[in-house]
Structure 1
Amino acid sequence: MNAKVVVVGSLNMDLVARAQRLPRGGETLPGESFFTAPGGKGANQAVAVARLGASVAMVGNVGDDAYGQQLRRALQVEGVDCQGVGTCTGVSSGVALIVVDAASQNAIVIIPGGNGLLGPESVRRFDALLQQAEVIICQLEVPAATVAWTLARGRELGKTVILNPAPATGPLPAEWFAHIDYLIPNESEAEALAGVKVDDLDSARRAAERLRKMGAGKVIVTLGAEGALLVDAAGSRHFPAPRVQPVDTTAAGDTFVGGFAASLARGLPEAEAIGFGQRAAALSVTRAGAQPSIPYLKELAP
């Protein structure tokens, strides 16, 4: 079966420590627990798509280490097409060092490993996957040249192109915007991209409107517990989030993106796809870990 969604992005092994609070510079804190789990924004989103109802293929790199084998296997057991996942010899797999505090906020350090070697030619080799897809998703944990090529190719093929600009530290290249159907940043990412302080719904709307003026087709700003804001040519619409007691917010954004993309691929209207992504993300934050927290379609039955 052809994959309806193709994710081009990162695969990381998450090393997760929990503590009462995040450490300050130079400080050593006692931790409460530790575990490892497959992650990486690209892989998380691919797993979310698979679990939430659509066929999906992953294009990315792992290293020739034990983590790489585990990352590939974690995708395969979910039914993700891994023909586009390469192995880089002599290089580690990507690793994310994550500290989660008692309020379920996190701080993350990323070591790219094989992700940093995913060049445009690596994606070009699997152009057939892009041609067969309905939705193409990118993030910013692989080289910018690769993201740029994939966005442009997706637009050339007439696919629905989603960019989750994470992690974002500053503006995107101006030429990227015309290739993006849905730009999906969180509050801090929207602020970094638009140069607008985002601390409430009105400022999120201003940031999204600026990003649309830069050329993005539609912008969905994810606002955590405050829901999501869609801004398009018709104006703006706020989608309140389901109320839950959070345990760990890791991969909540990835779950939203994957759930939204899976819903579009399944033919749901845009508003329903946003609502579905929110419900999936809300359930994910009640569980620990990245991929382990992502729910299955059957858990979200009306």
Structure 2
Amino acid sequence: MSAHITVFGSLNYDLVVSTPRVPNGGETILCDSFATHCGGKGANQALACRRLTPRNIGVRMVGRVGLDSFGDQLKSGLFSAGVDVAFVERVGPDSGIAVILVERSGQNRILVNAGANGTFTPDDVKLELFEHEGQLTSLLVLQNELPLPVVLAAIDLASSHGIKIVYNPSPMDMSIMTPEVISKISYLVVNESELSAMLGQSITDEQLTDQDTLIPYLLKFHKTYDFAGTIVVTLGGSGIVYSVYDKTAGFVEPIKALTVVDTTAAGDSFLGAFVGGIVDHKDIESSIKRGAAAGCLAVQKKGAAESIPILADVQKLLQ
């Protein structure tokens, strides 16, 4: 294959409750529906990369699932979609679980039990995980749903071998967001709250719709962290701002969804399409536009894996 993407991260089995609203403490309410889905930020991003990347580009998932039936479904689901799962290990006893509450507004709240994801140690991070057919992977995609020392070990190993890293630091933990760590990242993909946390400076709702105000925040980030890579900030329905160190900064208009049903996999769909564009040799703005279209399509369907669109639908939306 001409290029290859490796996603190192979590696989979770999602238990999704649709509810009119989140109950108050001690309160019981009737929910609208209950469903189960394969998920986890790592698995969702691997699936998104596969669905939103040309077939000549390989996609590998590196992670762990339990010896339970959830693990069977998580691994077989990715395999059926065309993701390389040779490095998805089966360890006991339990797979990662996410309990997701989705309000009628589309807003979600998520509780996660790490399960097998939490069994990784830094010593488990080997270069062979990031190799394919004798060559190093083109891009390594990381999030924060594995133990943080494992994430740091992966960043250090990949960086030392010249592998470009796409880092989506979610859930955010400022203890590892140091200039030394950030300097090893090629593409940093965050939302506005994560950018605010890293800068220690709040961003108002009014500023979210004013790219001329937001872009200086990105330039400040480059200076604060001595960051020579590309930062992409997703702003939900307000669009995306980005900055390439010492080259350019810009704004991409949002693609508005007709109806917001479930936002669960919107960010992962964006990232998968963006990564696919980068590996497919598209420029930053074109890759971001792919991501915006993928996120728009994702929020119009329920579920995590089920809502991730395919490349053909994204390209059609962008025409």
Aligned to 2:221: 211
Q: State the superposition RMSD in angstroms.
A: 1.9
Structure 1 residues not aligned, in runs of 5+: none
Aligned to 1:254: 268
* Structure having the higher Rg: 2
- How much has 1:298 moved relative to structure 2? 1.7
Q: 2:78 aligns with which of 62, 75, 78?
A: 75
C-alpha contact (below 8 Å) 1:204/1:221 kept by paired residues: no
Separation in 2, partners of 1:164, 1:278: 16
Aligned to 1:237: 250
- How much has 1:88 moved relative to structure 2? 1.2
- How much has 1:149 moved relative to structure 2? 1.7
SS at match of 2:157: helix
Q: 2:287 aligns with which of 260, 273, 298?
A: 273
Q: What are the equivalent positions in structure 2 for 1:59-70 lying under 5 Å apart?
A: 59-70=62-73
Aligned to 1:18: 18
Separation in 1, partners of 2:221, 2:98: 29
Separation in 1, partners of 2:87, 2:220: 35
Separation in 2, partners of 1:139, 1:173: 12
Query: What amino acid maps onto 2:184 in structure 1?
Result: H
- How much has 1:145 moved relative to structure 2? 1.4
Q: 1:97 aligns with which of 96, 99, 108?
A: 99
Separation in 2, partners of 1:68, 1:3: 28
Q: 2:144 aligns with which of 132, 140, 164?
A: 140
C-alpha contact (below 8 Å) 1:10/1:60 kept by paired residues: yes
Aligned to 2:59: 56
Separation in 1, partners of 2:4, 2:13: 26
Q: Given the two structures, how large is their TM-score scaled by the length of structure 2?
A: 0.89
- How much has 1:184 moved relative to structure 2? 0.7
Aligned to 2:199: 194
Given the alignment of the two structures, is residue 290 of structure 1 paired with residue 304 of structure 2, yes or no? yes
SS at match of 1:97: strand
Query: Residues 270 and 208 (structure 1 numbering): CA distance in 2 closer, same or farther, change over 3 Å?
Result: same
C-alpha contact (below 8 Å) 2:215/2:250 kept by paired residues: no
Query: Residues 288 and 256 (structure 1 numbering): CA distance in 2 closer, same or farther, change over 3 Å?
Result: same
Q: Given the two structures, how large is their TM-score scaled by the length of structure 1?
A: 0.93
Query: What amino acid maps onto 1:240 in structure 2?
Result: E
Once the two structures are superposed, residues 206-225 of structure 1 have per-residue CA deviations (whole angstroms, 9 ceiling, x without a partner) of: 55334323133221111111
Separation in 2, partners of 1:82, 1:278: 27
- How much has 1:270 moved relative to structure 2? 1.4
Identity across aligned pairs (percent)? Answer: 36
Q: What are the equivalent positions in structure 2 for 1:27-66 lying under 5 Å apart?
A: 27-53=27-53, 54-66=57-69
Query: What amino acid maps onto 1:134 in structure 2?
Result: S
Separation in 2, partners of 1:278, 1:173: 26
Separation in 1, partners of 2:282, 2:130: 26
Query: What amino acid maps onto 1:239 in structure 2?
Result: V
Structure 2 residues not aligned, in runs of 5+: none
C-alpha contact (below 8 Å) 2:136/2:163 kept by paired residues: no
Query: What amino acid maps onto 2:235 in structure 1?
Result: L
Separation in 2, partners of 1:80, 1:2: 16
- How much has 1:72 moved relative to structure 2? 0.2
Separation in 2, partners of 1:112, 1:209: 35
C-alpha contact (below 8 Å) 2:130/2:140 kept by paired residues: no
Aligned to 2:234: 222
Aligned to 1:114: 116
Separation in 2, partners of 1:29, 1:3: 50
